[in-house]
Structure 1
Amino acid sequence: MLHVDIPSREEYSYLADVRSDACVSIYLQTSPLHQQLAASKIQFGNFIKEALQQVTDRGLDKRRIVLLEEELYSVLEDESFWDLHAHSLAVLVTPDSIRTYRLANQLPNRLDVGDRFYLKPLLRALTFPHSAYILALSENQTRLIEFFADAPAEEVTVPDMPARMRDAMGDAALNDHHHGAVHHKVRLAQYTRKIDQALRPVFARHDYPLILVSTEPLASIYRSTNSLSNLTEETLFSNAEHLGASELVTLVRPLMDNYYQAQLKALKSRFETRAGERRVTQDFSDAARAATFGAIDLLLINLDSTLNGTIDENGSITFSGNEDEAQYGLIDEIAKRAIATGARVLAVRSEDLPSGADLNAILRYPL
């Protein structure tokens, strides 16, 4: 199993507000295979030495440096911590606190030291968590399977979910052949409705996509009784009864890619529509003011943007040069302010942006 602990939106907002005399952000390539983590630990140790040297060069108080060193080495030297990992590790530390997140996304190694955390990679994890569920459905078998990225899948035990139609209908299901095809479809609808009811508490906790694997007419009947917004539009039409969890993941992975691409395509179309209503901006200054005053509904940002500067309490931008130590990532700050006012923020690659701009914002009202 891939061990992932992605921060919530609320947690991200908290981290974005942290200010300290030393905020160290470390992103590390890891592996779900324990035997492949040795290189990650070596790199982490190198990042610790580099971070401590940077804060020393900046004149950080020696007592604060000792506290920072203790926090960092508490992770490096914790053998049990290195037992379970995913594809990336985020370590965010100040002299007073430390937080770690295991991520399904494959992120490059990076160290950042400043007065705030570097959080854009976490935004990517929140945008596309690479986690999904498969509902493998037939009259004789119902399974919910969870998977992350390329890690082994696991079957999930769902309270009150019928394991097959007979369990849902009891003895009545045995007599369907006496009532014809129409009555049998009624029974199937009753069966799928009970499955939907059982799944609601599972998906109330998150918005991971749900991919249906089934055959007709059961697939269409399930969709007609489904109440979950998580259900993807595509169905994998296959009899899942004789397919293991790993085989199902292999078969549905192209559907996951299609799902994410469909989301991005829909966003591009939405941007085009809102542009005609004067509710779109790609201008950093306009977006900074809009984010500050809660005017952004949806923000699409370039994960690789490196434009730096500062934004004051009124949303006014000052673009900084590399020599300015007070500078920070402008997109990161705009995203933080947008999230704090309820906007949906997605971090994507430049090729997935509507027109190649580093920032695209849909506003709640016209400019």
Structure 2
Amino acid sequence: MNVVEALVQDTVPAPVATLPASAYRSQAVFEQERAQIFTRQWALFTWAEQLAEPGSYVAATVAGLPVLVLRDAAGQLRGFHNVCRHRAAMLVKEGAGRFKGALVCPYHTWSYGLDGRLRRATGFGPGAETIDPCETSLFGIAVEEWRGLVFVRIAAEGPALADWLGAIVPMAAHYPLEQQHFFMMKEREIEVDWKVYGENYLECYHCRALHPGLCASLDIDRYTIDVHDSDQFFHLYGPKRDGGLTEGLYFYKFPFLMLNLYEWGSSIATVEPLAAGRMRHVNWYFFTDVSPERADANRESAEWSAQIVSEDIDMVLGVQRNLNAGIYRHGVLSPQREHAVAAFQNMARAALAGTPEAAHLRVAP
């Protein structure tokens, strides 16, 4: 080996192993991910326009857990598990609505204030006096709003939302999120593990093969992804071609928040992991101008974006099937094209460090 070859060998990083295939199909790994990642991180839940009035609420699930967020009489956002303290009934069905003064369980009509405190345990007679309202209040969760987006965190303790977003906050400061309004949503439940989808999002190695429309709009040769390890997010940059549709600011925040921000609108997406190898992908489209005159143009823009997601989903469905089949054990990542995938996988490994399932995220020597 000559001196030049030695220098090249020392400076060019070697390929690294992917996660083992078992990491994407093990329900034991998924349960640890729910405990160590999904419940401890902030999750995008809804947008503030849905909770504009006192008493308004949104009920949905976060990593399979039924959750309820409302705005109380004082205008404060409050979050609860959507479960009655009596016998675990769902307080409200999934969707949006408005309470008229109290939350009344549809099962046995226990009622709660908008602060979650038990008001009345019906049918208990004198025994109701022994029920401590403080001990039987609704189970609370953390809820915060950032620039018109509402996030929840299942765990009681953790960083404030702005601290969790980190450098995204100043980097996105001049994009007019508060002036943008909800236009449409795409929601798809697919047999794909959340990590498979995240890894696909964090490389454009596949773009020329899968996304001709995207390549016609963006200069893929100049596409870059910067890893911000300390804040666990990725800054994706794809400069617009002459005549391309758009140029904006793109973020992926671990574990699964996707922010595509433009001056005229936003494509904001998240993933809800449902089980090992199964997830729900949710994409909201916002525009500054949602007048009837702009409806066709806005829909065309949103559908263009949704088509790129569809192209990805068609591919990763096959990836997940092969991960489940058992022939493929693990692969290698390109240091040049898949450095962000490697960083994402390291974040997943770090989150499960010290658990029995951590071995599923390491390739055996």
Larger proportion of strand: 2
TM-score (structure 2 length as normaliser): 0.26
Larger proportion of helix: 1
Give the structure with higher Rg (CA).
1
Greater RCO, CA 8 A, separation 6+: 2
